[in-house]
Amino acid sequence: MSVLGSVKRMVRRGFSARDRAMLERLGSDGDPRTKAVADAVLAVYAIKTDPPAAIRRLEAARAARAADTSPLDDGSLGPAGSFDEGVTVADACAVSKPPSQALLLYALTSRLKPSSVLELGTNIGVSAAFLGAGLADGSGDGRILTLDVSPYRLRVAERLHAELGLTSIVTRVGLFEDTLDGAIDEAAPIDMAFIDGNHQYEPTLDYTDKILARCVEGAVVVYDDIRWSDGMKRAWADVCRDPRFSVVIDLYTMGIALYSGPPEGHPTVTPALYSVLAP
Ligand SMILES: C[S@@+](CC[C@H](N)C(=O)[O-])C[C@H]1O[C@@H](n2cnc3c(N)ncnc32)[C@H](O)[C@@H]1O
């Protein structure tokens, strides 16, 4: 590889000096919760360069799903929804969070040690497995409740979690519109939520309102695909001026918002920190 190629590769794999400095500055604002979140984000690079055993196992299990061309739906759990028809396990695996983004979830649960995590959008369980591995390596305690409309995706997810020995993860099948209220009752008080399904403007804000009503102060809400559509861009813009959040960290593809409790002023918002979740 040329010298230029190596430099480009190093820049791609490490955080930029600007992004590291931004996170360090954020962590020194005097609020221990902000510092814990900033430190967890800063930890992503170290975890990526020297992944713990749980992450290596998880990526091997992901690779097996990525090579599995069997159909997701075999009819045994009822008719497939339109999004499952003709889809293989490998196809479904391809929409799971890629490694850097999934490691952010591991970093957050292993460092923040939440007792109760709610995930919207299980798919085949890869992101839930990173959340669960973080809980196991962090507190060794806590629970993840994860929701998806597809029983076929949830079946693959449950097998993945069983294979990895991740007993903290519980799934619920159904549309968020039907399952979210009950799931929030079950999960409350919520310490962390990951919203990764139905990426549209109104649903995203509606899920946010419902989750925040039953969160602990200092809870963390992680949003995926914040620039995926005009609706998500608008939803993210609303999050960035929502007085219920004290700090908002923009990681370009994903965003993290820290719930401050009763509304105060506008949150502190970082610019897009592009390098943190770079592949
Ligand atoms: C991008 S995938 C989730 C990926 C997963 N978090 C991961 O990284 O491994 C989004 C999932 O949300 C589910 N979903 C989308 N809209 C939904 C809704 N309204 N109710 C329930 N599930 C929904 C889809 O079935 C799909 O599996």
Q: Per-residue pLDDT for 171 more than 60?
A: yes
Q: Per-residue pLDDT for 2 more than 90?
A: no
Which residue, 141, 192, 147, 149, is CA-closest to 170?
147
- 223 CA from centroid of ligand 1 (Å): 13
133-155 pLDDT, tens digit per residue, is: 999 999 999 999 999 999 999 99
26-77 pLDDT, tens digit per residue, is: 999 889 999 999 999 999 999 999 999 999 999 999 999 999 999 999 889 9
87-106 pLDDT, tens digit per residue, is: 999 999 999 999 999 999 99
Closest-lying ligand 1 atom to the alpha carbon of residue 146:
6
For a substitution probing ligand 1, which of 103, 149, 154, 171 has the most ligand atoms within 8 Å of its CB?
149
Regarding beta strands 190-195 and 169-173, do their DSSP bridges make them parallel or antiparallel, or are they unpaired?
unpaired
pLDDT band at 4 (very low <50, low <70, confident <90, very high): very low
222-277 pLDDT, tens digit per residue, is: 999 999 999 999 999 999 999 999 999 999 999 999 999 877 789 999 999 999 99
Q: Per-residue pLDDT for 1 more than 50?
A: no
For the chain, where are the alpha helices, taking DSSP H only?
A: 3-13, 17-27, 32-49, 53-66, 89-93, 99-112, 126-137, 151-163, 176-187, 201-212, 230-240
For a substitution probing ligand 1, which of 91, 148, 161 has the most ligand atoms within 8 Å of its CB?
148
Helix axes 99-112, 53-66, angle to 10 degrees: 140
- If one compares 103 and 12, the residue with the highest pLDDT of the two is 103
Delimit the domains of the chain by residue range. 3-269
- 106 CA from centroid of ligand 1 (Å): 19
pTM exceeds 0.85: yes
Q: Is the CB of 127 under 6 A from ligand 1?
A: yes
User: If one looks up domain 3-269 in CATH, what number appears?
Assistant: 3.40.50.150
